[in-house]
Structure 1
Amino acid sequence: MYEHSGYQAPASDGEPLQQHERVLTLIDGIRDARRAGEIARMAELARAIASVLGTRTRDADSKRCPALAEASGAFLADPDWPDRLIADLGLLREHILRELGGESVLLQAGRGSA
């Protein structure tokens, strides 16, 4: 188990990195959708992030990123939701980038493969 992130240990060493990269790509998509005013698309991508994170991490990240949890429907009634989602995902993105730095150290130490 990756204690810091909440991600479960995968069968292959590259899976956590792939999960991180997928979430970062989805965050970029949400930012693009926000600029285009596509709120429903933002919610769709936010639900995809929740799916990638899985239940254990999603529960922890719902405290870090509460707007992510609202992507199931409450967002339509809240005109501030898009901005809150962008702000929350900025924090999640920073968290992931810090973890990627930690994973790089592990990889350099020979605990994984590049």
Structure 2
Amino acid sequence: MVITFLAGIVLVIFLRTVRRDLSHYEGLDKVAQAQMNEQLSGWKLIVSGVLRVPDHPALLCVMVGDVVQILGMAVVTVLFAALGFMSPASRGTLLTGMLFFYMILGIAVGYVAVHM
């Protein structure tokens, strides 16, 4: 009963806000709407910067490599834990596996960073 009452209060506040916003936006005259349509928006604002070279390309390569290493370590660890190779019952197995996979995936990080 309390939840229904509180949901009703939130609904009334929401409807008031929506009605007020709609009446405000309907009050805009046609000239203002035409000016808003002429302004640049969306893709037109970023079209010149999409294919430009980044300011610090080496830092970008390092960051992408780090993301590949951490996500790869997480995925492989969860996969091995789900298959039952690393049980949380044995102490330290999960942490040791995570560190091992992090170290081994350094090879993939090197490849991805150099490729970029």
TM-score by length of 1: 0.28
**Highest Rg: 1 or 2?**
2
TM-score by length of 2: 0.28
